[in-house]
């Protein structure tokens, strides 16, 4: 019989008072409400180590556990640690690797693999993500190794005092050298994809201001290599901004594509397919790389800067399309 993995979640205060079914189906949407109902009635879900019915009310601090046989899609596990010390480490995440657990990905994630690597070396302390990159975005990431370092580093990323730079390959020849995209980002109301966002008029409900500086560094055949400096930290910010000017990322499965094209990709992955498949895409992932990162040391306060060159797949695309 295949080994089962136990996934656990502690109920936060704002979810207290919901039924177990509503809590699970609302927080973990990779399963439908009907699927969660079946799993609960089959005894696959427990609350505080007891099986309960779907309408059981959960309270703050309750431990919800779910037994599952994981069938995770393949990922690129080639994580490179550039710098490590007692309080934190800096590593290069490859493309095709989620930062954290999401949907079908639980163990095949950057934070899980980094934690395993540290535990194998005898580390027994905290292992916490300071910030995140999209699954297909490669590049520099910071991991805190104690609570105090996590708090100090996270504040820098949230306040914008940590400086980030990306290199991106965008579709088409972008006009001009240096330019900026400045506008609010909100949900794309015309799309059936709940996670799709767009640049919306200022003052749109639930939107957030955003700003990215861009500099074109090279013209390619029907594409442009850009240096990108986000001054705010919105979800998918660079991808949304490039799509808003008609130059979405090469290989982007969400932006610059129709809803149906994106949903076809999601169905492929949920059926156990390789998330790196090309399909109608010209490359296996979107071409975005977190290339430079600067922040203050969480203990000494000294400024630290790390750089990561373009990975092989982006280099090969550039060479092929010069």
Structure tokens at 320: 């092929």
Q: Which positions are annotated as active-site residues? A: 134
CB 320, CB 287: distance < 8 Å: no
Decide: helix, strand or coil at residue 284: coil
209 strand-pairing partners: 184
Beta carbons within 8 Å of 220's beta carbon, 6+ residues apart: 169, 318, 321, 322
CB 90, CB 140: distance < 8 Å: yes
Beta carbons within 8 Å of 92's beta carbon, 6+ residues apart: 79, 80, 82, 138, 139, 140, 141, 308
Distance between CA atoms of residues 79 and 122, nearest Å? 19
CB 193, CB 135: distance < 8 Å: no
CB 272, CB 285: distance < 8 Å: no
**How many other C-beta atoms are found inside a 10 Å radius of the C-beta of residue 24?**
24
CB 9, CB 15: distance < 8 Å: no
Computed from CA positions of residues 253, 258, 264, 267, in that sequence, does the dihedral angle turn out positive or negative? positive
């Amino acid at each position: 019989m295949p080994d089962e993995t136990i996934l656990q979640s502690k109920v936060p205060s704002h979810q207290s008072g919901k039924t177990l079914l509503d809590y699970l189906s609302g927080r973990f949407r990779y399963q439908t409400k009907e699927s969660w109902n079946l799993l609960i009635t089959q005894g696959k879900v427990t609350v505080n180590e007891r099986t309960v019915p779907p309408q059981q009310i959960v309270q703050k601090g309750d431990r919800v556990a779910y037994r599952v046989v994981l069938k995770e899609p393949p990922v690129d596990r080639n994580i490179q640690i550039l710098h490590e010390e007692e309080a934190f480490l800096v590593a290069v995440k490859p493309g095709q690797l989620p930062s954290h657990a999401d949907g079908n990905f639980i163990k095949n994630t950057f934070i899980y693999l980094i934690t395993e690597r540290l535990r194998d070396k005898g580390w027994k302390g905290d292992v916490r993500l300071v910030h995140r990159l999209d699954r297909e975005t490669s590049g520099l990431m910071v991991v805190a190794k104690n609570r105090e370092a996590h708090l100090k580093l996270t504040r820098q990323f949230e306040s914008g005092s940590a400086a980030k730079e990306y290199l991106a390959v965008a579709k088409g020849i972008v006009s001009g050298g240096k330019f900026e995209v400045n506008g609010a980002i909100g949900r794309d109301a015309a799309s059936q994809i709940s996670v799709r966002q767009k640049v919306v008029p200022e003052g749109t409900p639930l939107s957030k201001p955003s700003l990215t500086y861009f500099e074109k560094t090279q013209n390619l055949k029907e594409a442009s290599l850009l240096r990108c400096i986000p001054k705010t930290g919105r979800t998918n910010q660079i991808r949304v901004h490039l799509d808003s000017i008609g130059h979405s990322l090469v290989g982007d499965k969400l932006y610059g594509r129709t809803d149906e094209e994106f949903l076809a990709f999601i169905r492929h992955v949920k059926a156990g397919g390789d998330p790196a498949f090309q399909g109608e895409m010209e490359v296996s992932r979107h071409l975005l790389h977190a290339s430079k990162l600067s922040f203050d040391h969480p203990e000494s306060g000294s400024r630290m800067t790390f750089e990561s060159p373009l990975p092989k797949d982006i280099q090969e695309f550039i060479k092929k399309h010069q």
